Each structure stands twice: as C-alpha cells, then as structure tokens.
Amino acid sequence: TMALCLKQVFNKDKTFRPRKKFEPGTQRFELYKKAQASLKSGLDLKAVVQLPPGESINDWIAVHVVDFFNRINLIYGTMSEYCTERSCPIMSGGLKYEYRWQDDSKYKKPTKLSAPQYMCMLMDWIEMLINNEDVFPTRIGVPFPKQFQQVCTKILTRLFRVFVHVYIHHFDSIINMGAEAHVNTCYKHFYYFIREFSLIDHRELEPLVRMAVGWGG
C-alpha cells in the first residue's frame, strides 16, 4: 500500500522527508489546514484549488507550492530505487522531451544530467528557495517579493517535469506498489491548481496533455 511505501521511505532515507512545515499559529498554517480539510472532504478538485474569499493569492500559492514540493518529493522517493543512472541516463519524458538542468551557481548553462541527478539538484534547489525568507517570508507583515509568482512558476514548472518522468518512465513501478490512485490524485490536484492561476506555460504541459483531456482539462 501507499502508506507502507511512504513508511519505508521515511525509515530508509531522510532525503525524502518533508522539507518544510508550516508553523502552528501562523496564518499560513491555518490556510494549509483549510486546504487539507477541503481535499479530505472529497470536494471536486477544481473547487478545492480556488482562492478562498478574503485570502491573499500569494499566501495561497505559497502554501500550495510547499505542499506540492513535499508530496512530489515523497512520490519520487517511493520509486527512486527504480530510477537509476543506468535506467535513466537522461532526464526525459519519452523520446520527445529532454530536460536539462540550469541554476545560478554550479550549472550556469543548461546541462544534460541523468534523471536521479536532476531530481537531486531540483529538490535541493527548491528546498533552498522555500526556506529563504527573502523569497518565502514567514513573518507576519513581511511582504512577498515582486518576483514571487515568477519564482513559483519556475518551481512548479520543474516539479511538473517530475510527473512527466514518473508517468512516462516508471508508471509500471507505481502500479506495482499500489500507488497509482495516490499519484493520480496528487497530479490532478497539481494540474487544476496551475491551471486555475495560469502558473505554467501551456507548452510545458504537452507531454501529459492526453491525461488532462480525460478530465476536461
């Protein structure tokens, strides 16, 4: 079961534990609880992602970016043993899509990496951003930076690539672990969220476009 898979990941490798938690008592913690309650109540996912009345859009986006990061990090963690240098020497989504890594420090130009290397660089890069108070401020009254939504678009675009790789190259492993429903729900939630706020360029969504058609997306 998925619960067992997650338990094994938590025990096996601290790399795949949730990287950031919301502090109880903060506005964002309350928003997070509200979002989780809606999700668990079985509401339509299209309705769940909508901005609650009176809430800040940046707070809502921040809560979801952190939550999706933690959940997608765990999903990849559950099947990372099947994604190796040998099985996935290139970070790709089938023959048509290849993703190269670029950041502002070690890789200044788009660089070809294996899928496990790319995933490792990606998770560390996101963790650094969401724990940076200048980008994701947690103190009350501290405003979000002007480029906040642009940063979130970049984070979500790269997280989408994890879904692309997992669905196209490792879906048999997901089915074998009994995690298909969990991964599908997470992806659907993610997809409706990015569409609701136009956070990813539609061209990036092409590798999995057929799945969305089935949902009327």
Return binding residues for Zn(2+).
83, 88, 165, 170
CB 61 within 8 A of CB 204: no
**Rounded Cα gap, residues 217 and 196, in angstroms:** 11
The DSSP code for 215 is T
Question: What token pair was written down for 53?
Answer: 């009345």
CB 151 within 8 A of CB 129: yes
Helix (H) or strand (E) holding 35: helix 27-40
Helix 115-130 × helix 148-176 angle, to 10°: 140
Binding site: what residues are annotated? 83, 88, 165, 170
Strand, helix or coil at 51?
Answer: coil
